[in-house]
Chains A and B, each alone.
Chain A
């Protein structure tokens, strides 16, 4: 009963179910990303955003009418956090796209609206900056994946590297997919969260791989599937513990961090959940499918006598 090498939860017997589940999620995510895409924030689209707070709940209809009258066509107006706070967005092609725009909106609201408000936040992102940020963001994701691929190949073995990067791709696509399906706003902080998800999910995967490698070297018997299953079981309580502590703080951020950090925390929560799942059901099965075996992981011993022969 106390043998640490027993398999309490047979994770891998369910790997085919997991495969179906993951494929399904990936298909939904990719379809959604391809058809409706992400609801990109002004960081990526360019445009103007003005957040104001009023002493009394603000009437959005009145505000919309006001903006339309002043020729701000295509302005979206919504409550932000509470009914006293209002977020006004102007897309880059709907109006003259200059940094002065936010001041014009502010001036208009404070002269014509039924109550005067206070500026909370104003953002203007030029279209070319938006394009650059999109490009840089995509590049950052790719660079991160490549660097990790190299590091894991160097520290472990290429099959582990492929397994872990596949798991990361899986996590990133599904997290992006959730943002696309539900049309949550995707801005720079969410992108940062996705990169942090890569870090986190990888962390999880590496811990499992480390144990797999150790067990391959230590255990004399057992098929690769059994060895991986044992390793997953041994690291299970750690996987759960770390996910729980991370989720605890993320929930604190989600509920207490304020509107601006809300989407960031959500991306991380989704990422941590998907990342924990993928390090068990994606990374390891793929490594197995690529045919990892005991022989691949034995420490290469340098034969001293061979070296001695070299003059």
Chain B
């Protein structure tokens, strides 16, 4: 999903589960708040911070960040893409935050603590006091209730422009998972769900659920929708409580934010005076800009550039832990992949190590054996299909319903490079002889990524194809829970009467049952085990061939300090500082 995917949530079901137990939660049990005040849950400094190490941070300076494109919106609830996430993360704040660099540890944010009812339906948030939006208006329970009501009753003109609102809360109005939201007092409000949602608190760390100034939203007509010419909210006045605030947006040229001089959490105020995001579409141009000193930091470094950057003493490489999966997938409803032996033969035929070494050099990726990433609690090594064995692949194919020569069509996308699929055509050309050695006769086919490939793939048109996933959060519900979900939507124009998985044809009822159980389970330990069980059933079906786990990298000059990379790209720039005078 999402063009540059950002991830933002985490497996922190832990929090949700503590909540569902009916405990009064001052601060999440898994969180390691940065300050004593936060850990006690009595308020105070909670913004992301890091333990002091190395040289003392220097205040001041302008940081130029070479991004890949402009943000597409900064009305938080509508944000989907990575560049918008990156900027919003600095000017807005959520009720609950992630510990910097962590994919699972939660910290108090604008809520210093929260209680959860024993039935897991009602959450009472106790808010930080003395907080103002950057327009000077107060952040209090009224503002929080306004924002939550906006999520629930998203204005009609905005519906369809959002992603996370529908994904997390299922719909709008009466269809929303949010039943009611009520002000208790000036610094407390409660929110009641229609049914328990195990990952609710985790979802609250996502920047689309940040608090925005009701005054600014109304003054700039944000609710009238993008087509209304009076709506200039996100281009002119995106207003939050964060350590930075909006300064200027020149489309295609730069987006500037400046230090919020009245930031409420003074202990975690920004070091930098100003951050300028300059869009540079091409990765080679981004590196040139970095080397020439035009920008200080760049994101989405190409795997082929990693060695060059590592060798440059004036640059540093900042690597995010992997949270992406690239794979070769089957549609089990199409021949010959409806025969599990054919799928197994293909899985045995591919030398993943050779592939990863060739296309994800310098540690840009590692060999995958599961749809889950190996740093997730529910991950277990996949023992279903053996590792690369050309002879076994040949034998397996010979005993299948499609003995050699077994004709197959292999789809790969054009005009795209994803973190988990840097060179689709090259990877196809490397895999083709491996499959042919097992007895397959491969016919290639391709389409532009945004030129029909994704649409066809989602509709189940392709029998064998490259695809991948960038997790929003390290929870299987955000991966297999989506890949193998079933619905009665049309598949390639064919009306389905029973729940069906279009994309992969994974219609095994045992998979659906196991996943539903795992997704609904509130207890973290039980839930983790449920996902392990579900993955065993999924892996036994061989719905795909996991190829690579990939992360992403940034590069910066050595004058930049304090950047803490996050697997979900939830990165806080109030921690970043530059050498004096640079």
A, B assembled together: no
**A interface residues (Cβ-Cβ under 8 A, vs B):** none
